[in-house]
A and B are shown apart, each in its own frame.
Chain A
């Protein structure tokens, strides 16, 4: 007995001696970004400004912020508001006319700064492969406000595909039971031409409003819901509904999309406001079910209710 304990101890000790070498080796793959901002993002160290007190408070868990940055486009060779660096001009990006008869474009550098700082220091905005880009207009400095003024209405008129709507079970469901209704919408991307610029728009579904057709509705809610396996039909979900009446009902969903736009490969700028896109309604038939108990089967009692050849009551 005693010797066995010792043997176990020896094995444990051997394991202890062997194991520590492993984490040291593993650490070589354990690289993390050392960047200041990335570190804060990694641990969700997010603060938001409380508009009432003007102080900063910890953002609630799961807080989804808008883009915290602001952007502007500066002429590539601009050194301050009024002057251009002459030396920079020969080396600047070429923006030849894109079509015959069109004027040449103006090379610009996109700048970024945090929104919450007044009079911030701007730094070059770039992601890999993005250097200067071209704007095509007589007055490129006025162009962005003009695009911004139009983008909201243009966004609302995009051919955005609304959500697919599904009910489970369907087309027939039961009164008093949970009918699972869910939406399925996708992020969509569009290339449009606005004031002569190539504008890339990304539309993202953010909220859903369900109308169940019996006067009840749900939302707007960020929950799109989701499918249940057939064995789970009748379970309550975040978007399910219980019909209290029988009959045919038109169910529908309106999806709210939020968008961002990027001009000639510049940064993604938020589109103010949202766009609402309704899905075509679908019909569900709500039936009632009646449970009756019988003592006999149809062999014992061939005239019993529901037996072959017996008229329904």
Chain B
């Protein structure tokens, strides 16, 4: 008798492998110029082995919002109160932020985020302004190529140093016109302050390292 988690894990591994194979298959045809590898979120999420055909993911473009955006799944590793745990959580938190940038849906992200985090509140305000009245954005994808926690087991909060890259953001109004000047790509170092509370990580504060 195997516990249900191991089944899930096997599925997950198979799915990821399949996705990896597909990716290599696509990639081998054309020598790609220095583009960053596509993040694991979309890969694992599209590869969920569901028998029912799911509606196809369509990224946002100048004609409309993104459709059927896969929701990032909290990895098992991110549930541990450890250095690896908080690092996995930090990656996941930025994936969910990226999802919010793509969809305007901030519910999942807000649930993991303290209301006292000023930077986070400003991000929320920016996203609200980008998605009210039928507006939408293209781009704004967050990637975190480097994630490194200073883990102190006795401390109440943990600090994670993260390289945060966000792709260019283009703004569109409901009628399809350009809403405001595009925000260029940004490449910054951030610190995330997280606390492990009743079995899960929560973001207490966020800052840019200056």
Which of A28, A45, A88, A112 has the most chain B CB atoms closer than 10 A to its own CB? Answer: A45
User: How many Å lie between the Cα of A36 and that of B101 in the bound state?
Assistant: 10
Chain B residues, Cβ within 8 Å of A121: 36, 143, 145-146, 163, 165, 187
Contact with A along B24-38 (1 / 0, CB 8 A): 000000000110100
Residues of B172-210 whose CB lies within 8 A of A: 179-180, 183-191, 205-210
Task: Say if the beta carbon of A196 comes within 8 Å of chain B.
Answer: no
Determine whether the beta carbon of B184 is less than 8 Å from that of A43: no
- Nearest to A120 among chain B residues (CB) is B163
Contact with B along A15-30 (1 / 0, CB 8 A): 0000000000001101
Task: Say if the beta carbon of B82 comes within 8 Å of chain A.
Answer: no
Give how many A residues have a beta carbon under 8 Å from the other chain's beta carbons: 48
Q: Which of A34, A54, A124 makes the CB contact (< 8 A) with B150? A: A54
Determine whether the beta carbon of A114 is less than 8 Å from that of B209: yes
Task: Say if the beta carbon of A3 comes within 8 Å of chain B.
Answer: no
Chain B residues touching A, range: 35 or more
- Least CB distance from B106 to A in Å reads 12
Determine whether the beta carbon of B169 is less than 8 Å from that of A35: yes
User: How many Å lie between the Cα of A49 and that of B210 in the bound state?
Assistant: 8
Task: Say if the beta carbon of A303 comes within 8 Å of chain B.
Answer: no
- Least CB distance from B210 to A in Å reads 4
- Nearest to A128 among chain B residues (CB) is B184
Chain A residues, Cβ within 8 Å of B125: 32, 39
Task: Say if the beta carbon of A310 comes within 8 Å of chain B.
Answer: no
**Given A33-B126, A34-B137, A120-B163, are A112 and B183 neighbors across the interface (CB < 8 Å)?**
no
Q: Which of B140, B171, B180, B188 makes the CB contact (< 8 A) with A114? A: B188
Task: Say if the beta carbon of B142 comes within 8 Å of chain A.
Answer: yes
Q: Which of A55-63, A253-261, A266-274 contacts B (4 or more CB under 8 A)?
A: A55-63
Q: Would you mind naming 25 contact pairs between A and B with Cβ atoms under 8 Å apart?
A: A33-B180, A34-B126, A34-B129, A34-B137, A34-B140, A35-B183, A35-B184, A37-B186, A37-B188, A38-B183, A40-B206, A40-B208, A41-B208, A46-B207, A47-B209, A56-B191, A68-B208, A85-B33, A112-B187, A114-B187, A118-B146, A119-B146, A121-B146, A126-B184, A127-B184
Residues of B in contact with A (beta carbons under 8 Å apart): 33-34, 36, 97, 101, 118-119, 121-123, 125-127, 129-130, 132-133, 137, 140, 142-143, 145-146, 150, 159, 161, 163-166, 169, 171, 179-180, 183-191, 205-210
Residues of A in contact with B (beta carbons under 8 Å apart): 27-28, 30-43, 45-49, 54-56, 58-59, 63, 65, 68-69, 79, 85, 88, 112-124, 126-127
